[in-house]
Amino acid sequence: MSTKPTISFSHLGCEKNRIDTEHIIGLLAQAGYQVDANEELADYVVVNTCSFIQTAREESVRTLVELAEANKKIVIAGCMAQHFQEELLAELPEAVALVGTGDYHKIVDVMQRVEKGDRVTEVSPQPTYIADETTPRYRTTSEGVAYVRIAEGCDYRCAFCIIPHLRGNQRSRTIESIVTEAQQLADQGVKEIILISQITTNYGIDIYGEPKLAELLRALGKVDIPWIRMHYAYPTGLTPKVIAAIQETPNILPYLDLPLQHSHPQILRAMNRPWQGRVNDDIIEKIKAAMPNAVLRTTFIVGFPGETEDHHAHLVKFVKRHEFDHVGVFTFSPEEGTPAYSLPNQLPKAVMDTRREKIMQVQQPISGKQNQKSVGQVVDVLIEQENPQTGELIGRSPRFSPEVDGLVYLQGKARLGSIVPVMITDADVYDLYGYVDLSKSSN
């Protein structure tokens, strides 16, 4: 019977944070700590916080305050620990430790010091660490899917973004390291891996001297995982070489997550984006011509300082013209420490909210139309949930990424974590509906 304390976890924010949390759990479990999902039964709660935008910080603060009011001993990890060190320690006496974004691999040492009565701050000013395939990990996703971080940090300096301050400059893993981890996941029965970093199309520049995404994709094609999906593919990095690698590697899904943020050249210049204006139209048309079956997802920011009605109208036309499969829209969040924080012509919240709603209204029928194309087709679906009351299965087709896109609701029998053929009988704006088609072979 272990005498080590029990630790619970609260994960907030993006999938990059999720991977950090999974490594923290893996490291502590390997060291003999008890892990319990029930915060009430835990001696300590590790909260992996998000500090990307104001709403994320508010959620993190709410979680921390609720735990403090419950008299829990809190270890604050992640972006808020990196961002607001002294303030957190001053405001939350229940916080027994702070662990930065580049220091989570030291969690066992931190907990050992905490157990001795120390109040620990382990926050490197410039994060440089990146976990690899040798770092213990306990996956928190559904059994069929796993995220794989191919690089950490960002070398761009977009005017609205605090990520480089929170995560440091880009540092990539080697192709061999990533392929080894993918093989480990395949051996565990994972059917889909999702490649993530801040700028996936810049993968490898820091260690190879040039982008190596195409080479990575081809190497991953040799791993027995049916689906490999990319997030954060910056448009300028989708070179003919990368597009060819996607087309010629059967397990690389033609799903492109393109974080465009805006369409108007003036706003893109003000944002200090690494590409501007007409480039967006040209690149998207080239991608569509080269990959007619590609699923395109993007995100936009409305209400950036100085955005006029004409700028917004330009974005509305852009969304209508390109008919993306999935669109996420965010209102501008002024982040202290970024150039955009002090720009003139900041817009009222009401204006930003109205503009966000307008883009969503334009996009919804487009998303519905794109979903309707699957009706009458048999598509592969990764089964992730089962409703115990109704027996209804819930999964995702290749056109849906976890958390951010829609779901497939289906009737029939299938094992969780398996990929099965599904006849799609109906669709709405966000989701698909169907049944397991036993006349088709499944893998």
Asked whether 272 and 310 are in contact (CB, 8 A), the reply is no
Asked whether 357 and 330 are in contact (CB, 8 A), the reply is no
Q: Tell whether 79 is in a known binding site.
A: yes
| Structure token digits, residue 118 | 């120390």
Q: How far, in Å, are 302, 312, 333, 363 from residue 352 at the CA level?
A: 6, 10, 10, 17
Q: Tell whether 250 is in a known binding site.
A: no
**Residues 6 or more apart whose Cβ sits within 8 Å of residue 127:** 82, 100, 101, 102, 103, 152, 153, 166, 167, 168
**How do beta strands 419-427 and 432-436 pair?**
antiparallel
The C-alpha atoms of residue 78 and residue 85 are separated, in whole angstroms, by 11
Asked whether 48 and 99 are in contact (CB, 8 A), the reply is no
User: 10 Å Cβ neighbour count for 42?
Assistant: 20
**How do beta strands 44-49 and 6-11 pair?**
parallel
The C-alpha atoms of residue 295 and residue 400 are separated, in whole angstroms, by 9
Q: Which of 309, 330, 311 is CA-nearest to residue 53?
A: 330
The secondary structure of residue 200, as a DSSP letter, is: G
For 21, counting Cβ atoms within 10 Å of its Cβ (0-12 exposed, 13-18 middle, 19+ buried), the class is buried
The C-alpha atoms of residue 182 and residue 219 are separated, in whole angstroms, by 10
Asked whether 186 and 221 are in contact (CB, 8 A), the reply is no
Query: What are the beta bridge partners of residue 148?
Result: 195
Q: Tell whether 50 is in a known binding site.
A: yes
Helix (H, G, I), strand (E, B) or coil at 255: strand
CA 164 to the chain's CA centroid: 16
**CA torsion through residues 40, 41, 45, 50, sign:** negative
User: 10 Å Cβ neighbour count for 126?
Assistant: 11
Q: Tell whether 403 is in a known binding site.
A: no
**Residues 6 or more apart whose Cβ sits within 8 Å of residue 115:** 5
Element (DSSP H or E) covering residue 99: strand 95-99
The C-alpha atoms of residue 85 and residue 88 are separated, in whole angstroms, by 6
The C-alpha atoms of residue 21 and residue 204 are separated, in whole angstroms, by 24
Q: Tell whether 413 is in a known binding site.
A: no
- Mark the binding-site residues, compressed into ranges: 14, 50, 79, 154, 158, 161
- Mark the binding-site residues for [4Fe-4S] cluster, compressed into ranges: 14, 50, 79, 154, 158, 161
